Chains A and B, each alone.
Chain A
Amino acid sequence: MSGCDSSSANRRVRPATLAWAGKDVRRSRTVWVRLRRDRVALGGLGLFSLLLGVAVLAPLISPYDPNAQDLRSNLQASSRAHLLGTDDLGRDLLSRIIYGSRVSLVAGLAAMAVALCLGVFIGATTGYFHGLYEAVMMRAMDSLLAFPGIILAIALMAALRPSLQNVIIALGVVATPAYARLVRGSVLSVKERDYVEAARAIGAGHGRILAHYIMPNVMAPIIVQATLQTGSAMLAEAGLSFLGLGVQPPTASWGSILNDGRPYLYAAPYAAIFPGLAIMVAVLSLNLLGDGLRDALDPRLSEG
């Protein structure tokens, strides 16, 4: 009898899921159509893809070894040999910025991934299940939110050793509560809808309901948040590396190159200008894309 029940439930769940999946595909298509009309957002997407390309192809396109020193030609201005000039140890700035893009982009994207995984998991589970687990988790998130982000990241870096991996962990932890609260709020409102009730009635388990019925409906704000947060994580990484609490020499990130150029503001201002410009372009591209995605995913907001 029970076997018969579950098989009939399965038969019924499948079409329902398919119908939802179909709706998702349609929706993501309309989002793409809207996004394609938004030239500014497309510009952001293009710019960010370009930077990703630069990071991936770094060994092929950078003219010099980023760590090769040439003390005889240090602090040079832009020239044919060194397009963006050289730093205090005679290292080619362009090559360092190209290689630095790897560190900076990896830090931003990986911190976003850490925060996304932790935050979505915590937010979804605390929104769906009640009780002690929910109370403990949300209080933990609240206490993380009690600190200004960069202060918490600095405190974490003081406890951990400065390294790229630890920067990613610190920035990921700092950004987690934002996702958790966002997802929890959405889950709380979606979970009472009739179609979730219907899924439960036909015997779908908790995992299935969360993954197939609730999460697709909370994806939109998460995507926007992830895009914008990658940008702020890159800013934070640059800040930590600038303070010497991020990646350690000789590895270059945009923040640490900026810090290296700082004492030579008078003699070689470009050593501080170009890495900052790189940070700005990267973060700008993500902000433009994030704004565009928000408008595309929620057309009500763009009417104003």
Chain B
Amino acid sequence: MVIFLVMRVVPGEPAAMILGDKASPEAIARVRKALGLDEPLPVQYVRFGSDLVRGNLGNSFITRTPASEEIRSALPATVELSLAAVLLAVVFGVGAGIISATRRYSIFDRASMVGAVLGISMPSFWIGLLLIALFAVRLRWLPVSGRINVTLPFVPVSRFFLVDSLLTGNAVALADTLRHLALPAITLGTASMALIARMTRSSMLEVIQQDYIVMARAKGLRERMVIMRHALKNALIPVATVVGLQTGSLLGGAVLTETIFAWPGIGKLLVDAVVQRDIPVVQGIVMLTALLFVLINLLVDLLYAYLDPRVRYA
């Protein structure tokens, strides 16, 4: 169903796109035939479907290499970036949320909630450009784009640069990777961080008012213990949902972030493929992100049962 929708949605006029504006109609027809685009849509769909179940996404119209190959080589960069962004968002979002809730109406609370509403309202690519303008262009502290300084003596094994540099003990490469990762991860993570902070705060405030928290305080437990042990565990249940949903939407946000930072992941690949009408690559990436998105949401549901024992899946 999903695949069919994507299939119907994506076709445009790729043959003309590949050949450029001056191509003759005959040349366009020839390319269409070579790419199998001259056949009726249902026929294309059946062929696409039967290729798909064998793991064949078709060849890229532009590079002629299998689309699955292109996507596979770009995916680790996106995963690394997204995980870094989630990590940032969870650590700072949950942290700010807890402090805000425990010191309600304090200056920290007000400042961080104003910051959160700003964070939700800012376009991520604008944050990225501002960060580049400040830290990369003006101050020259951090690199403008890319994943790593290509002149470094570093041979990636798995394309997860952080893992590779850690495993090979290459400290220079690790530091350089982190320096390249910093700005894109902040850019991608800001909106999620803001949402998570708001959610943590309101959920925490709700939990703190409940009887068992009063009870815990009455027992004479230290405030730190009450908050971290008793309140946090229940407060985090709705936060887990938000984190899960955000992780999924980061896959989408990565498109803009990767474009700005020339980050060689699937987001940038998608934009390039759309511009060049490289249908197999576009289809592959859209399907892959949908698959990951659904998987992440499934994981969140399972995590729910762990966090909240009242939830049981029959």
A24–B216 Cα gap in the complex (Å)? 44
Chain B neighbourhood of A148, CB < 8 A: 248-249, 251-252, 289-290, 293
Chain A neighbourhood of B275, CB < 8 A: 244
Interface residues of A (CB under 8 A from B): 139, 143-144, 146-152, 154-159, 231, 235, 238-239, 242-245, 255, 258, 262, 265-266, 269, 272-273, 276, 279-280, 283-284, 287-288, 291, 304
Closest to A139 in B: B1
Decide: A151 and B137 in contact? CB cutoff 8 A: no
Decide: A146 and B256 in contact? CB cutoff 8 A: no
Asked whether B5 is an interface residue with its Cβ less than 8 Å from the other chain, the reply is yes
**Among candidates A146, A288, A291, A304, residue contacting B290 with C-beta atoms closer than 8 Å:** A146
A265–B126 Cα gap in the complex (Å)? 12
A154/B6 contact (C-beta < 8 A), A242-B125, A265-B133 known: no
A242–B126 Cα gap in the complex (Å)? 10
A15–B118 Cα gap in the complex (Å)? 48
Decide: A279 and B274 in contact? CB cutoff 8 A: no
A176–B294 Cα gap in the complex (Å)? 18
Cross-chain pairs A/B with CB under 8 angstroms, 16 sampled: A147-B289, A148-B289, A149-B252, A150-B249, A150-B255, A155-B9, A155-B274, A242-B256, A243-B271, A266-B137, A269-B133, A273-B133, A279-B126, A280-B118, A283-B123, A304-B206
Asked whether B11 is an interface residue with its Cβ less than 8 Å from the other chain, the reply is yes
A287/B121 contact (C-beta < 8 A), A157-B274, A158-B12, A265-B132 known: yes
Asked whether B122 is an interface residue with its Cβ less than 8 Å from the other chain, the reply is yes
Closest to B122 in A: A280
Decide: A155 and B10 in contact? CB cutoff 8 A: yes
Closest to B207 in A: A304
Closest to B3 in A: A143
Decide: A151 and B286 in contact? CB cutoff 8 A: yes
Not counting A147-B2, A239-B125, A291-B117, a sample of 7 additional A-B residue pairs whose C-beta atoms are within 8 angstroms of each other reads A139-B1, A146-B294, A150-B249, A158-B282, A235-B123, A243-B256, A272-B126
